[in-house]
Homo-oligomer: A and B are copies of this chain.
Amino acid sequence: MIGMEKPVLAVLCGDDQARELAESPAVQGIESSAVVRYTGEAGLADALRDADVLFVYDFLSRAVPDAWHAANKLRWLHIASAGVDPVMFPGMRDSDVVLTNSRGVFDDSIAEYVLGVILTFAKDLHGSLDLQRESRWQHRESERIAGREVLVVGTGPIGRAIARMLTAVGMTVSGAGRRARENDPDFGTVHASAVLTDHLPAYDYVVAVAPLTGQTKGMFDSAAFAAMKRTARFVNVGRGELVVTADLVGALRAGELAGAALDVFDTEPLPPESPLWTMKNVLVSPHMSGDFTGWRDTLVEVFADNWSRWQTGAPLRNVVDKELGYVPSDR
């Protein structure tokens, strides 16, 4: 419409991603109602100048803080991930910019992944694969998962999806979150994360899926691992920085826990020299637990849905509480 100024949308993405995005029907819909500026990390400050909205599609990028000085008109920032820690810095937190995330996209996929690594441990599927490489037939006994105790640390939607799936296959699940409570619909008992170590000795599996905040950073340290059963397995599908990696390596070496399945790391890609690659009973995967085929389309659709809400003045979905560092649960 003549005379009506279109909003400016900056999209932070890699070069390959810009092509993908431009081909997406959801983005083509947005392009009719916005001036869209695709940018890599180097051009981000220029793209942010006079932009109304920033869509962080490259959610692995750590470039937003350094370009933030140029965000003179920004009103809304959306990130294509569940964790918002890459854009949680003082300048952002103290601004009036509304922050939304992609809560919900990864929940069930990550839950399937967690169940997969738990069954890998219980049925020693990695042991079978090792023996298969040597064409060796060696019968072993395996563990049941039914009745085993699981603690899910993080009671957001991903943690809830994990709890529901593990409960459905007969495991006994509790949660750990900010507030202790009983009768939670997904967890039953939720322990307070502040006293996590008191509760860890009871569990066969401990699953980390908390958001990364000042409170949760490094919560899995030597004291936590020492408190776990020697037969326990630790699963991290949250953020690498929830863990003090050196403490985990030390605890595994000392036999203070029996194994770890790690999809996230404090440095990604995990450096080739990391001892985790070669440790027995450690399963390393490259930050992919939620990334089902079609996930990128779904991420764009989540943003496009919020875009149409923003245009009509409707309330945005998945608004992050910038004090807490995540979208507060209704529960």
Contact = CB atoms under 8 A, between A and B. Distances in A.
A198 to B, nearest CB: 29
Interface in A128-143: 128-129, 131-132, 135, 137-143
Interface residues of A, number: 51
Interface string A281-312: 00111111101111100000000000000000
Interface stretch (A64-72, A113-121, A152-160, A204-212): A113-121
A26 interface: no
A327 to B, nearest CB: 23
A223 interface: no
Given A109-B142, A144-B292, A295-B141, A284 B117 contact: no
B284 A132 contact: yes
B128 A285 contact: yes
B120 A116 contact: yes
A288 B119 contact: no
Chain B CB within 10 A, most for which of A108, A116, A140, A288: A116
A92 interface: no
A268 B139 CA distance: 11
A293 B129 contact: no
Interface in A155-178: 165, 168-170
Interface of A: 108-109, 112-113, 115-117, 119-120, 122-123, 125-126, 128-129, 131-132, 135, 137-146, 165, 168-170, 268-270, 272, 274, 277-278, 283-289, 291-295
14 contacts: A112-B119, A112-B122, A112-B144, A112-B169, A116-B116, A120-B125, A126-B129, A128-B284, A129-B129, A129-B283, A135-B278, A140-B291, A142-B288, A165-B169
Given A141-B292, A143-B292, 19 more contacts: A108-B144, A109-B144, A112-B119, A112-B146, A113-B123, A113-B142, A116-B116, A116-B119, A116-B120, A116-B125, A125-B125, A137-B286, A139-B287, A139-B288, A141-B295, A142-B291, A142-B293, A143-B293, A144-B292
